[in-house]
Chain A
Amino acid sequence: MDSRIWAVGGGKGGTGKSFVSSSLALYLASLERDVLLVDADLGGPNLHTLLGMPNGHPDVGDFLTGRVALLDGAAVETPFRGLRIIRGTANVLFIANLNHYRKLKLLRQIRRLPAQDIILDLGTGSAFNTLDFFLSANSGILVATPEPTAIENSYLFLKSCIMRVLKLYMDHFRIPDLHRKMLEQIEKNSQSLYGFFKSLAESDRSYGTILYRALRNFRPCLVMNKVRDEREAELGKAVADVARKYLLIDLHYLGAVPYDERIHASLKAMQPFLPAHRDSPVAKSVRDIAEELAYSVEFSHRTPPEVRFPGAR
């Protein structure tokens, strides 16, 4: 089955990653698509609560401990048509510190899940495991809120992703000296990532080409959550522009989700917000974001067309 994997992550806690991922899943399921929501927040799973479901077995822990042979065996039906969920585990402690073998096992199984849309709800922070889930998806969606703390952590998250992409790329093509240089400059000399890129591209053109090649396929998306006015919604565009210029990545701004007091109430009632408020501005924004996302996935692996005017003088 031709499935799409969307990973929802972010640097700061409380920005609404689980809300965005569950809302996207509910919307896609309402379009009669076959959707599977995976709670990949191994350290603090609570996606099931957001959907009004109890904790229980089977869950992702059953797969990791071998009680269920395939990850798909851990998926359970939700009260919503077309939507299944793989719950996070509360029984296996310290599972967030997945070892390399278990991580690969999980990643491989996620790719084989039989669903049209697979949405991974990731944990907070920039741990290697979280980054690898984010990078392995067709589209990584970064959720931020219009506050300095969230913006700061979003840039840190993106920088960590970039460093991870560069490390994997340099390991693959066996360029360890460049990786060493990068760590020295950025960690020891506390140079900015942009400053490092700039000095590297100036010192050797071929290094610039390597960076370009490594980063051109890393095209994350951004959602600005809990915005209170137009100005805060516009902030997403500005952040995408800054990332494009100073982190040299194509950050695609999907749109903003307005702040709604009723979300808190629905969370307390353990009922998902979207099905009960289909005509709310939040529901509309989720629809727009899903459409924008479908568009971005469609075009993310295409290089922009080259414009040429052979006869132009």
Chain B
Amino acid sequence: MIKRIDDWNYYELLNVERTASKEEIWEAYQAALETYRPGSLASYSLVTEEERSLIMERIEEAYRTLREPEKKRDYDMALLRRSFYYSPKASFRKSLGKVEIEEIAPKRSFWRRIRGFFSRRRPGNA
């Protein structure tokens, strides 16, 4: 799928493996800064100023998260959940050879559903 900069995960942004050490992450962060800094040769003529500031922000955000072991662990767990956890009740859709999960609405309790039913009917009766 076409990915926007906002959709790249932190590892893809910094070009590192998920198993990368702290030093590797630091090096990747420095390389990413060098690639996207204003006036850099690698992004010359292709990346607009607006796009540049957006990606620099995202790179900072990525490094701030990945350098802290605790934040990194939480982020890894969130990524793992997002990419590989399939709820048994999720509706599946086959697309591009990969299984995508469609968001399903959270289940509402019995009383909330009853209340929802009446609150919907009321404007019609009035």
Interface residues of A (CB under 8 A from B): 146-148, 151-152, 155-156, 192, 194-195, 197-198, 201, 208-209, 211-213, 234-235, 237-239, 241-243, 245-248, 303, 306-309, 312-313
Contacts and interface: CB of A to CB of B under 8 A. Distances in A.
B4 interface: yes
A303 B55 CA distance: 27
Interface stretch (B42-50, B104-112, B118-126): B42-50
Contact of B2 (A212, A241, A312): A212
Contacts of A234: 31
A187 to B, nearest CB: 17
B35 A241 contact: yes
A246 B46 contact: yes
Nearest to A205: B1
B41 A308 contact: no
B90 interface: no
A238 B47 contact: no
A243 B95 CA distance: 25
A243 B43 CA distance: 9
A146 B44 CA distance: 11
Interface of B: 1-5, 8, 15, 31-32, 34-36, 40-48, 51, 55, 80, 84-85, 95-98
Contact of A151 (B2, B4, B45): B45
Given A192-B51, A212-B96, A248-B2, A242 B46 contact: yes
A208 B44 contact: no
A208 B2 contact: yes
A303 B85 contact: no
B44 A152 contact: yes
A238 B42 CA distance: 6
Contact of A155 (B1, B46, B97): B46
Contacts of A309: 84
A247 B85 contact: no
B45 A155 contact: yes
18 contacts: A147-B41, A148-B44, A148-B45, A151-B44, A155-B45, A197-B2, A201-B2, A237-B31, A238-B31, A238-B40, A238-B41, A239-B42, A242-B35, A242-B47, A246-B51, A303-B97, A307-B84, A312-B80
Contact of B35 (A197, A213, A238): A238
Which one of A208, A211, A241, A306 has the highest number of Cβ atoms from chain B below 10 Å of its Cβ?
Answer: A241
Given A248-B2, A308-B84, A235 B96 contact: no
Contacts of B43: 238, 242, 246
Contacts of A307: 84
- Per CB-CB distance, the 10 closest pairs between chain A and chain B, nearest first, are A238-B42, A238-B35, A152-B45, A208-B2, A201-B2, A155-B46, A309-B84, A312-B84, A239-B42, A242-B43
